[in-house]
Structure 1
Amino acid sequence: MPVTPAVEDLPRIISVDDHILEPRDLWQRELPASLRDGGPRVSRERVTLSFTGGHYGFERGTPDGQWCDVWLYDDLAMPTGRLHAPVGMEQAEVVNVPAIYEDFRDGAHDQAARLVDMDANHVEAAVNFPNTFPRFCGQGFAEREDKDLALRCIRIYNDWMIDEWSGGAGRHRLIPLTLIPLWDADLAADEVRRCAAKGSYAIAFSENPARLGFSSMHSGAWDPLWRACQETATTVTMHIGSSSQMPTTSPDAPLAVSMALSAQNAQGSLCDWIFSGTLERFPELKVVYAESQIGWMPYLLERADIVWRDGVGGVDLPRAPSSYVPGRVYGCIFDDQHGLSSREAVGMGSILFETDYPHADGTWPRSRQVAHRLCATAGMDEADTVAFLRGNAVEAFGLGRFGIEP
């Protein structure tokens, strides 16, 4: 029988999906004075929040509302809610209500406090997605009409991510994840190369760019971007919800329905990556699905192989769809016992761990205990446990460039 290391003997974790609340003053301090009025900024107002049909809504200026840090940017107004960063709160407090930054644990937005929280959670290194108005792959910039300002704002975010958040005491612990201008694949490729030259080798992308109004994965329009990613060994990572839509069943379905169905978008996305031929055309490209779990992968790949084998799908691929996954496609677990127990069907090398700090699904400060339960229940030995908690992440993101070993 395989023996799982004791909880106190687990290796330090590399979390491939955490989040950071962007500094409220970042763009106001970095934009030239002439652009600040239209650039991202925060207004403190009374607000009420709602959730219906898979979408959040809010009303500003309500006398009985709660104080809220509202992000304003061009025509955008987006409230900060408690669900943005409820880490450390009692379960009864994890509800959809307005919030200001002072309501949150300091680690949600302060580098020094984050590093302390990582140490308390047995985490060595972490990749951090945006958390407020930029949204998970920079849609907040792509949706604005002034694309010159949007590009400038993206570069400000990326420079902050590389030089400040992932710099200083965070160097080699906070792994930079940068954004791209989704509206122009050539500009996106330029930004990939610029950020790689500064030491960032991962970008956030949409699980379905067509849903954002951009070219589909099947169009070939993204090839300049994938070429730049392959040239710079930059990993493409996609968070659930990065198509600005969460799965739901009806307009009156509660949030719980969307949360239970959260992996559906990743399933469609992986089909697009494979059947578009993108993984065939760019054989060194690596893609990561954040917060999607992996229990869905075995059946999807089995079904994709059947469709390919029978030749009924109108796709000409030289190899079976499942053959593109090993060493190239990664899924992330924060608490998916079925997925980890099915690891042989997925491929042990394709499974990563995440703590999802500071979100409601996050496992801080008990991520080590959760990881041990998952590994022990799945009957994993030391080698598989180490691969799951850190080794596979080193391979997926090329973390050797940061001095991080498996």
Structure 2
Amino acid sequence: MDTHASTFPLIISVDDHTVEPPTVWQDRLPGKYRGTGPRIVRAPVKEMTFLGGRFKPVMGAPGDDGPVGDWWVYEDLRRPLTRLDTAVGYDRDEIRLEVITYEQMRPGSYDVPARLADMDVNHVQSALCFPTFPRFCGQTFTEAKDHELGLLCVRAYNDWMVEEWCGPEAHGRLIPLTLIPLWDPELAAEEVRRNAARGVRAVAFSEIPPYLGLPSVHTDDWNPFLAACDETGTVVAMHIGSSSRMPSTSADAPPAVGSTITFANCCFSMVDWLMSGKFEQFPNLRVMYAEGQIGWIPYILERADVVWEENRGWGGVADKVHRPPSELFAEHVYGCFFDDAFGLRNLDAIGLGNVLYETDYPHSDSTWPKSREVGEAQMGHLEPEVVERIVRRNAIELLGLTDDGLWDGPR
């Protein structure tokens, strides 16, 4: 691994992404489902827009004019691979919303040895990876018509994640993040326990479940799932966009508007959790916000404490939130960033133990291959032991890694 003369710690990234190989589900689903389960089809694009936080691609028919790309086909869903799924290696001004094929993406997006090589280039030791086709918390399978098939797809993804993506070839450097069947909290609890038994310590969840037509965290519906996470030490990981609705202001707002305010859903979600009573009900529960950045956190904690102190009598939380929200945050919530100089200047107001580092490989926001340089520039004012906590130690403790920063699950 390249460490040339730098004292910056080897990075443990808690938010990278995998682009699933074409055969993940075809290799694992029962034969009767292979014609309806997720599969790759090469076809032209007829139309594709991304406005108001909504991505709307339309697949053309064979022989139609238009750029050709690889599309995931699943029930009625047609979802293309795009340059935004895997943008590293391209100049920022060359990145467009366009369809691509597997041959047009960087192999590290889907191939383990290539990923490890790209991590070496970027001074990254270990990485936790969110999905692409299932979307950030498995919404693809939740929205499907056939939940029997959906459950098989969730389990197939998790088996691939644990056994192949994070398997022996990864040498402990890739950290598993699994999915749950969001439509059934009891089945979700079973899946958490199934994966925890093989060393998994992180599960993806929606930042704002009601946006997916699911119960909010203020209900008791999620308690079986939360109890399983509490008992197994499984971290609830929520990525921006895991509610299938990116923040925006209008139906015609350009993507730049939503990209600027991507933290907003994390902000709303965190207030939900802090005012839900779940952290007192499940004292070992931990949640993390991937790609939400951290600079916004101090004010929200200040405001939440004021509301709890002055308005809890009529605010509907006096009977379930018995401590200041900022105290609950300190024990249960983690913010993840890759480029937030303002947040790093306000660590005292956030909490050193609540901050994690990420590189967002291979997305267009990624700091690859300069994540070390970005970190050095933004953390140069901090003491080495503080940098070590942010870049490595907090992730090691949260995700149950070895002292060397590796996943010690099945080999």
- TM category, shorter: over 0.9
The structure 2 residue matched to 1:31, chosen from 29, 32, 47, is 29
Asked if 1 retains the 8 angstrom alpha-carbon contact of 2:201 and 2:234, the reply is yes
- Deviation, 1:100, is 0.9
Q: Check if 1:361 corresponds to 2:362.
A: no
Asked if 2 retains the 8 angstrom alpha-carbon contact of 1:39 and 1:73, the reply is yes
Q: Structure 2: which amino acid aligns with 1:72?
A: V
Q: Deviations over 1:44-64 (max 9, x none)?
A: 000042112211112221733
Q: Deviations over 1:284-323 (max 9, x none)?
A: 1111000000111000010000000002422122100000
Please, which moves more after superposition, 84-93 or 13-22?
A: 84-93
Show the counterpart of 1:371.
375
Q: Deviations over 1:334-385 (max 9, x none)?
A: 1011011111000011111000000000011100000000101xx2001101
Asked if 1 retains the 8 angstrom alpha-carbon contact of 2:15 and 2:358, the reply is yes
Matches within 5 A, 1:142-291: 142-291=142-291
Asked if 2 retains the 8 angstrom alpha-carbon contact of 1:7 and 1:372, the reply is no
The whole-number CA distance in structure 1 between the counterparts of 2:15 and 2:331 is 19
Asked if 1 retains the 8 angstrom alpha-carbon contact of 2:12 and 2:405, the reply is no
User: Gaps (5+ residues) in structure 1?
Assistant: 1-5
The whole-number CA distance in structure 2 between the counterparts of 1:17 and 1:150 is 25
Q: Structure 1 residues 7, 369: closer, same or farther in 2, change over 3 A?
A: farther
The whole-number CA distance in structure 2 between the counterparts of 1:269 and 1:7 is 41
Please, which moves more after superposition, 301-310 or 86-95?
A: 86-95
| Alpha-carbon RMSD | 1.5
- Deviation, 1:32, is 1.9
- Deviation, 1:401, is 8.5
Asked if 1 retains the 8 angstrom alpha-carbon contact of 2:126 and 2:405, the reply is no
Asked if 2 retains the 8 angstrom alpha-carbon contact of 1:14 and 1:390, the reply is yes
TM-score (norm 1): 0.95
Show the counterpart of 2:50.
51
The whole-number CA distance in structure 1 between the counterparts of 2:73 and 2:406 is 38
Please, which moves more after superposition, 326-335 or 264-273?
A: 326-335
Q: Check if 1:396 corresponds to 2:398.
A: yes
Q: Structure 2: which amino acid aligns with 1:334?
A: F
- Deviation, 1:394, is 1.0
Q: Structure 1 residues 401, 209: closer, same or farther in 2, change over 3 A?
A: farther
- Deviation, 1:400, is 3.1
Q: Check if 1:106 corresponds to 2:107.
A: yes
The structure 1 residue matched to 2:339, chosen from 332, 335, 338, is 335
The whole-number CA distance in structure 1 between the counterparts of 2:145 and 2:56 is 22
The whole-number CA distance in structure 2 between the counterparts of 1:135 and 1:330 is 21
Q: Structure 1: which amino acid aligns with 2:216?
A: S
Q: Secondary structure of the residue that 1:18 maps to in structure 2?
A: strand
User: Gaps (5+ residues) in structure 2?
Assistant: none
Q: Structure 1 residues 7, 278: closer, same or farther in 2, change over 3 A?
A: farther
The whole-number CA distance in structure 1 between the counterparts of 2:139 and 2:175 is 21
Matches within 5 A, 1:122-141: 122-132=123-133, 134-141=134-141
Asked if 1 retains the 8 angstrom alpha-carbon contact of 2:396 and 2:403, the reply is no
Point out 4+ residue stretches in structure 1 off by more than 2 angstroms.
400-405
